[in-house]
Chain A
Amino acid sequence: MAVKDYIRERFFPHLWCPGCGHGIVMGAMIRAIEKLGIQKSDIVVVSGIGCSSRICGYLDFHTLHTLHGRALAFATGLKLSRPELTLLVPMGDGDAFAIGGNHLIHAARRNIDLTAIIMNNNIYGMTGGQSSPSTGYGDLATTAPYGNIDPSFDPVNLVLGAGASFVARTTTYHVTSMINILEKAITHKGFSVVEVLSQCPTYYGRKNRLATAVDMMNFYKNRTTPIGSKDKEKNPDLIERGIFIQEERPEYCAEYAKLIEKARSQ
């Protein structure tokens, strides 16, 4: 099938700003699903609120557009009742780390078979560029006009600590690697988190000397490095990308099914 078979063409051109990375992530999601050959009717995309969450309007799967930060809670309920479905949960950094932070760590702790795709653009884009939990120290935002003094979350370490069994980071520049990582994350049985560094040229870039999408993608190209590379030893400020963990652990729906069997047999 072609990319156009997976989208709702009537909503195109989409509403994202010129150069917004979220469209690249959407394209990569489509291509990963196409490569895996999963039926459209077996996929559910559950999103919350924000620029990133608009994705579920554009994708032609079963889609749920839910409450801010609560996408993982809705997805957990759906997965438990219909474990045979493949669930993708695209989220923004505000959605995932601020209002939805608790849902994220508990979904990770339970190891429920969902794929959380966190499009981290370091800002609240939809509401006008307020600083988010992933806005870096010293970065400018509309709510931090003199520079942000809050240290940012390290999303990878956050979900590793919470117990996610698949954790990866990639960027919109490294799009072929993003497609490969998404394929692995979707097929992984357990909670998968893929953090995608995704540019917001309008609100993050413009305020932080990366005025265009091209500047921001060049930043991802030059300031990230594969996990364990020698460049990282020379320059500790580089951001590592790749798969940090991929482990088989007891999955929540399977454990729940076992529990029901056990209760019924008594």
Chain B
Amino acid sequence: MAKKKKGKPVINREWCKGCGICVEFCPEDALALDEMEKSNLAYPDKCNSCGMCELRCPDLAIELR
């Protein structure tokens, strides 16, 4: 598992291409694609700040802050 980092994913909507990798592989199912096909932290309470979405985002569009 990734080292736990503080913060929650903040998504850069201009860089996100909506591939859905972060949504599929989020261990807590905290992310979802919105109506514009952009990643979105739909369930912030589920997020455990593991940071895997940040590491797997091919667009460098996710940052834990």
Residues of A within 8 A of B (CB): 2-4, 7, 12-14, 16-24, 26-28, 31, 172-173, 175-176, 179, 201, 212-214, 217-218
Contact = CB atoms under 8 A, between A and B. Distances in A.
A19 B19 contact: yes
A3 B55 contact: no
B57 interface: yes
Nearest to B37: A18
B17 A13 contact: yes
Interface string B11-36: 00011011111001100000000000
Nearest to B61: A13
B56 interface: yes
B64 to A, nearest CB: 11
Query: Interface residues of A: mostly helix, strand, loop or mixed?
Result: helix
A19 B56 contact: no
A175 B1 CA distance: 10
Given A212-B20, A214-B19, 17 more contacts: A2-B63, A4-B60, A13-B14, A13-B15, A13-B17, A14-B59, A16-B58, A19-B17, A19-B21, A22-B58, A23-B59, A23-B60, A27-B55, A27-B58, A27-B60, A213-B58, A218-B24
Given A12-B15, A176-B2, A217 B21 contact: yes
26 contacts: A2-B63, A4-B60, A4-B63, A7-B60, A13-B14, A13-B17, A14-B59, A16-B58, A19-B19, A19-B20, A21-B58, A22-B58, A23-B57, A23-B59, A24-B56, A27-B55, A27-B57, A27-B60, A175-B52, A175-B55, A201-B19, A212-B19, A213-B58, A214-B19, A214-B20, A217-B21
Contacts of B19: 18-19, 201, 212-214
B55 A176 contact: yes
Interface residues of B, number: 20
Nearest to B18: A18
A24 to B, nearest CB: 5
Contacts of B21: 19, 213-214, 217
Given A2-B63, A3-B63, A214-B24, A18 B17 contact: yes
A13 to B, nearest CB: 4
Contacts of B60: 3-4, 7, 12, 23, 26-27
